[in-house]
Amino acid sequence: MSANRAKTSGGEIVRRAGVVATGTLSSRILGAVRDAVVAAVFALAATDAFWLAFTIPNALRVLLGEGAVSAAFVPVFTEVREREGMTRAKRFYGNLVGAMAVVLFLVTLVGVLGAPWIVKAYAWGFQRDDALFETTVSLTRMLFPYIFLMGISALMMGALYASKRFAAPAFAPALLNISLIAAALILAPMLSELGWPAIFALAIGALVGGGLQVLAQLPSLGKEGLLVRPKIGFDDIHVRKCARLMVPLLAGLGVYQVNVLLSRLLASFLPTGSVSYLYYGQRLAEIPQGMFALAIASAALPSLSQAVARGDEDEAKRLFRHAFRLSLFVAIPSAVALAVLAEPAATVFFGRGRYDAAAIHETTRSLVWQAAGIWAVASVRTIVPMFHAHNDTRTPVIASALNLVAFTSVSLVLMGPMQHAGLAAATTAAAVTQLVALLWLLRRRSGNLGMSEVTATVLRVLVASGVMGLVVWA
């Protein structure tokens, strides 16, 4: 493979990542506005209930929309298209949509019917307050259908990514935030006047936003000829292969969401507001994570999959190094800047309405520790697609298991003296543990990765970021 081709491939990843990053940036900005509006409009007890109720549906959204479906579907779809033609690839896609719809419907049904037991499992501490517990159960029932909508949207996203169309799936998530903002400002007062809990407006807004995301991707699918008739295709050999890849992938990528679930379970035993403090800090830390790390990983996967399908390991390694350097080039200064500017950032985003100075201080404590781990989370998200491109979804599970062990251990040690900030610190410690494990496993799997050029980039970025942090701090 020529150097020019490698550079062209790298430039293509940058261009695609730019499209995804722009779409994600719009969604993150609107998400920040959404969180600011929610924090200002609703009381802390109400937002504690909503964010806990939204935990499982949102975790599945992240897994499906930002992880398992795309990571399992894109390599298989690309392989089928390259080896068996586009007609067979379309049939595989239609079969997968039908099969996933059945699974998602059953998951939704279980969630709606089993909401009281689900809430007891992950919001155990809320049982001390009957009204808070019942509100959380009602919100959980209302929000579970969101999983169905997000699962279908994720399949559309995967098909568009495999077709190298990134704009529609990148911008569609912004519609959820627009819907939630409108629900908080318009629908919540209307529900209050009718005697209903105003916080229910956010659940309705989430369902509307999920539906809008599905509709927004239909035109792009039509242009690619992918508006196929769904068929329940559990007997399709490629659907079964995709499912086999997806199961360990869900286990691996799901560890972060298990950490979120566990952190909110533990936070439910802490003083009122702890769930919200932890959530709002996490949201600010996720802005650079989602805007850059996810964009780079999503953009790199199709090219990595193509290189692996052609048997060109050297090109795959070159593309991996390019994506890894690009991710750290953005993530390290983002982590430093957000940690140094944690209090001003929390004040700008949330310092209004019912969110007082004490709440800002507690959110800052959460944010500082979560910002410290941005570079590690970004690195993990960039490394994992290298395994996925080889249809290896099992190896990352090993690193993910270490993540969970580290998070649980550190959380139990720190939540007493540090409260919710201890849970935030545990998230960072777990991400670093997972990163070290992934790098070691990848080297064992692929041999020499040529990481010396990545190390040189990291050292330069560390020095520049350190100087920037000192200047801003001073």
CB 293 within 8 A of CB 378: yes
> Which tokens hold the place of 354?
């019912």
pLDDT tens digits, one per residue of 188-233: 999 999 989 999 999 999 999 999 999 999 999 888 888 888 888 8
Helix (H) or strand (E) holding 413: helix 395-418
Higher pLDDT, 91 or 391: 91
Please determine, for residue 105, whether its predicted confidence score (pLDDT) is greater than 70. yes
Would you say residue 263 has pLDDT above 60?
Answer: yes
Give pLDDT, residue 301. Answer: 64
Percentage helix, strand, coil for the chain under 3-state DSSP, each rounded to 5: 85, 0, 15
- What is the per-residue pLDDT for 297? 66
Output the average pLDDT for the chain: 83
- Give me 461's structure tokens: 């970025």
**Euclidean distance between CA atoms 275 and 51, whole angstroms:** 8
CA–centroid distance for 380 within its chain: 12
Segment among 23-27, 30-34, 301-305, 396-400 with least mean pLDDT: 301-305
Please state which of the ranges 15-29, 30-44, 238-252, 447-461 shows the lowest mean pLDDT: 15-29
Mean pLDDT for 314-337 is 82
Tokens at 446, concatenated:
């692929």
Half-sphere exposure of 250 (CA within 13 A, CB side): 13
456: Cβ contacts below 8 Å, ≥ 6 apart: none
pLDDT tens readout for residues 380-402:
888 887 787 777 777 888 888 89
The winner for highest mean pLDDT among 133-147, 149-163, 264-278, 437-451 is 133-147
The mean per-residue pLDDT over the stretch 230-255 comes to 79
What gap in Å lies between CA 382 and CA 342, rounded to an integer?
25
What's the average model confidence in pLDDT over 15-33?
75
Q: Which residues contact 26 (CB under 8 A, 6 or more apart)?
A: 171, 174
Q: What is the DSSP letter of 228?
A: P
* pLDDT computed for residue 25 by the predictor: 75
Residue 8 confidence class, pLDDT cut points 50, 70, 90:
very low
Token readout for 133 is: 């517990």
Residue 182 has pLDDT above 50, yes or no: yes
Report which of residues 22 and 421 the model is more confident about: 421
CA distance 201 to 208: 11
Q: Please give the span between the terminal C-alpha atoms of the chain, in angstroms, as a whole number.
A: 49
Q: What is the mean pLDDT of residues 280-308?
A: 72
Other CB atoms within a 10 A radius of the CB of residue 456 amount to 11
Quote the CA–CA distance of 266 and 124 in Å, as a whole number. 9
Percent of the chain residues past pLDDT 90, beyond the cut: 27
Query: Would you tell me how many other CB atoms lie within 10 Å of the CB of residue 383?
Result: 23
pLDDT band for 474, please (50, 70, 90 cuts). Answer: low
Q: Are 155 and 73 in contact (CB under 8 A)?
A: yes
Q: Quick one: average pLDDT of 137-147?
A: 93
pLDDT of residue 17: 64
Place of tokens 């929309």: 65
Average pLDDT over residues 291-312: 68
Q: pLDDT tens digits for 409-430?
A: 999 999 989 999 999 999 999 9
Number of other residues whose CB lies within 10 A of the CB of residue 351: 18
Q: Which among 247, 53, 257, 70 has a CA at the least distance from the CA of 145?
A: 53
Residue 318: band (very low, low, confident or very high) from pLDDT cuts 50, 70, 90:
confident
Whole-angstrom Cα distance, residue 272 to residue 47?
10
Domain span at residue 10 reads 3-473
CA 66 to chain centre: 5
Give the Cα separation of 86 and 92 in Å (integer).
Answer: 10
Local confidence band at 7 (pLDDT 50, 70, 90 cut-offs): very low
> Domain tally for the chain?
1
* Per-residue confidence (pLDDT) for residue 66, from 0 to 100: 54
Q: What pLDDT does residue 410 have?
A: 95
CB 191 within 8 A of CB 47: no
Tell me the two tokens of residue 62.
């992240």
pLDDT band at 76 (very low <50, low <70, confident <90, very high): confident
Which of the four pLDDT bands, split at 50, 70 and 90, describes residue 294?
Answer: low
Half-sphere exposure of 274 (CA within 13 A, CB side): 22
Q: What is the dihedral of CA 380, 386, 391, 397, to 10 degrees?
A: -20
The two three-digit tokens of residue 33, written as one number: 């506005």
